[in-house]
Amino acid sequence: MAKKLFVKTYGCQMNVYDSARMADVLAPHGYEPGETPDGADLIILNTCHIREKATEKVYSELGRLRALKDEAARQGRRVLIGVAGCVAQAEGEEIARRAPVVDLVFGPQTYHRLPELLTRALDRDGPGGARVVDTDFPAEAKFDHLPEESRGQGAAAFLSVQEGCDKFCTFCVVPYTRGAEFSRPAADVLAEARRLVAAGAVEITLLGQNVNAYHGEAPAGGVWGLGRLIRGLAEIEGLERLRYTTSHPRDVDDELVAAHRDVPALMPYLHLPVQSGSDRVLAAMNRKHTGETYRRTVDRLRAARPDLALSSDFIVGFPGETDLDFADTLRLVREIGYAQAYTFKYSARPGTPAADMEDAVPEAVKAERLAALQQLIGAQQTAFNRSAAGSVQPVLFERRGARAGQLVGRGPWMQAVHAEAPDRLLGRIVPVRILDGHANSLSGAVVTTDEPGNPADRAPAPAATERAIA
């Protein structure tokens, strides 16, 4: 009989991807993924350790799962609970001590060994027996031991091309939880992309903790950087859109800039974290760039692709950050102009160099700075969205909207676009006239043309006979 699997994912897109691959690994062993933990035989929390809050969420979920596991046991059913991802990697045995409900703990580098780990967990004799903990960085490459994707991911798919990080920003746990940089061979990436497209993907987002540090073995020897990989991917028939995330300003090389100039499928939207606008803080963060070098990188990218919109990550309240430092951050935001951004209060992570730094910023000051930064970025985002009104954008419809008859998709600049549209347009790129821009989304009306097929992504829709598709 089929067993039921429930995977709950926290954190970044990398975890979303890993969760899907865990389901692929378990499918041949009779596990079918479900939408809720009720009735599941195996529950996996794929966790995030990046900030304290993310970690605490995992422990409160484990508290809730204890009740579910006890209830199932009363009915004579055994439920296995696994913790995967970065909390598992960072805390290992500690998780089992803090939350005895957990049967197995495994890090991001070992989920290809899941079937074997599960067998060991199922063999475990009664409560209190040894839990299965596997947080190695094994010598064998995980990707060589994963089955091919068993399911497509739909029209907009993710593809992991790079993992780990060698940058060691002083606030960040990633180099410790995900380990050293590793790039998948380009031939493997191309093959996976072709499979995704055959299964219905028209857009692929390349994933990596530091994706533009990509340096994969080239198909015919040598090494490909990310720009070259993007050119290779863009040749795949039916692949209309490419994106990549998340990148580091230091690794934007000329080849990548040229790809933004030459590859129409590469969407004009880039997440390029800067963290702070103050050179003093950037140095203490070990970011290896200054405000000025970041500005120059953005200039190069915008010269190559003038309609490029930017997103970023910011940390406020890093140890020692003064009012003047923070003013430099606000100045940088005003100068660059963002389409959207993520803002975080600094959160000390055990084991990172910044956790031992002096001059902690008081919580109240962090909160004040966060609010000021969010207000500025929110205003930029709203202005960016409003400026879309009147334009026609190619929109990839991905799902039904909350209102009947409405679909939601994404335009080139990552904005969510709502429009009345029939279900048959799901998974297709369709020209949409933007009627209004709001704080977090756009609304529009589908445009039809006399020509069959999709419009070129980059060009504005041809002079169109405009009517809503009924």
**Residues that bind ligand SF4 in the complex, under the rule CB under 6 A:** 165, 167-169, 172, 174-175, 209-210, 248
Instruction: List Cα–Cα distances, 227 to 107, 214, 234, 348, in angstroms.
Output: 30, 9, 11, 35
Q: Which residue's structure tokens are 């064998």?
A: 140
Determine the 3-state secondary structure of 204 from DSSP: strand
Return the amino acid letter for 124.
Answer: R
Round to whole Å and give the CA distance between 39 and 29.
Answer: 18
Name which of 168 and 342 has its Cβ closer to ligand SF4: 168
Least distance CB 214 / ligand 5AD (angstroms)? 18
Q: Give the one entry of ligand SF4, ligand 5AD, none that residue 175 binds, where binding means its C-beta sits below a cut-off of 5 to 8 angstroms depending on kind.
A: ligand SF4
By a kind-dependent CB cut-off of 5 to 8 A, residue 209 interacts, out of ligand SF4, ligand 5AD, none, with ligand SF4
Contact stretch for ligand 5AD (CB under 6 A) within 279-287, 342-350, 363-371, 424-432: 342-350
Sorted by sequence, the CB contacts under 8 Å of residue 383 that are 6+ apart come out as none
Closest of 330, 320, 386, 406 to residue 357, by C-alpha:
320
The verdict on 347 binding ligand 5AD (CB under 6 A) reads yes
Other Cβ atoms within 10 Å of 363 Cβ, number: 10
Q: Residue 326 or 344: which CB sits closer to ligand SF4? A: 344
Residue (165 or 407) nearer to ligand SF4, CB? 165
Nearer to ligand 5AD, 173 or 186 (CB): 173
- Joined together, the tokens standing for residue 198 give 């055959």
**Does the protein bind ligand 5AD through residue 273 (CB under 6 A)?**
yes
Q: How far is the CB of 173 from ligand SF4 (least distance, A)?
A: 8
Shorter beta-carbon distance to ligand 5AD: residue 48 or 265: 48
Give 6 or 171: the residue with its C-beta nearer to ligand SF4.
171
d(CA 137, CA 74): 38
**CB under 5 to 8 A by kind: which of ligand SF4, ligand 5AD, none does 165 bind?**
ligand SF4
> What tokens does 55 get?
């970690």
Q: Which of 275, 276, 311, 393 binds ligand 5AD (CB under 6 A)?
A: 275
State in angstroms the smallest separation of the CB of 151 from ligand 5AD: 28
Torsion angle of the four alpha carbons 178, 182, 187, 190, in this order, in degrees rounded to the nearest 10 = 40
3-state secondary structure of 312: strand
344 binds, among ligand 5AD, ligand SF4, none (CB under 5 to 8 A by kind): ligand 5AD
- Kindly report whether the peptide bond that precedes residue 290 is cis, defined as omega within 30 degrees of 0: no
Minimum distance from CB of 256 to ligand 5AD (Å)? Answer: 19
Q: Nearest to residue 23, comparing CAs of 10, 32, 11?
A: 32
Q: By C-beta, is 46 or 177 nearer to ligand SF4?
A: 177
The label of the residue with tokens 């951050």 reads: 329
Binding piece for ligand 5AD, criterion CB under 6 A, among 62-70, 127-135, 144-152, 339-347: 339-347
**By C-beta, is 239 or 341 nearer to ligand 5AD?**
341
Beta carbons within 8 Å of 240's beta carbon, 6+ residues apart: 202, 203, 265, 396, 429, 454, 457
The C-alpha atoms of residue 279 and residue 289 are separated, in whole angstroms, by: 8
Pairing of strands 42-47, 309-316: unpaired
Shortest distance in whole angstroms from residue 265 CB to ligand SF4 = 26
Give the nearest distance from C-beta 51 to ligand 5AD in angstroms: 5
Q: Binding site, residues?
A: 12, 48, 86, 165, 169, 172
At 382, list the tokens. 């709203």
Give the separation between CA 62 and CA 250, rounded to whole angstroms: 39
Nearer to ligand 5AD, 249 or 401 (CB): 249
17 binds, among ligand 5AD, ligand SF4, none (CB under 5 to 8 A by kind): none
Ranges within 42-71 binding ligand 5AD (CB under 6 A):
50-51
| 433 contact, one of ligand SF4, ligand 5AD, none, CB 5-8 Å limit per kind | none
Asked if 229 and 161 count as a contact pair (C-beta separation under 8 A), the reply is: yes
Residue listed under structure tokens 């993007």: 230
Known binding site for [4Fe-4S] cluster: residues? 12, 48, 86, 165, 169, 172
**Binding residues vs ligand 5AD (CB under 6 A):** 50-51, 171-172, 273, 275, 313, 315, 344, 346-347, 349
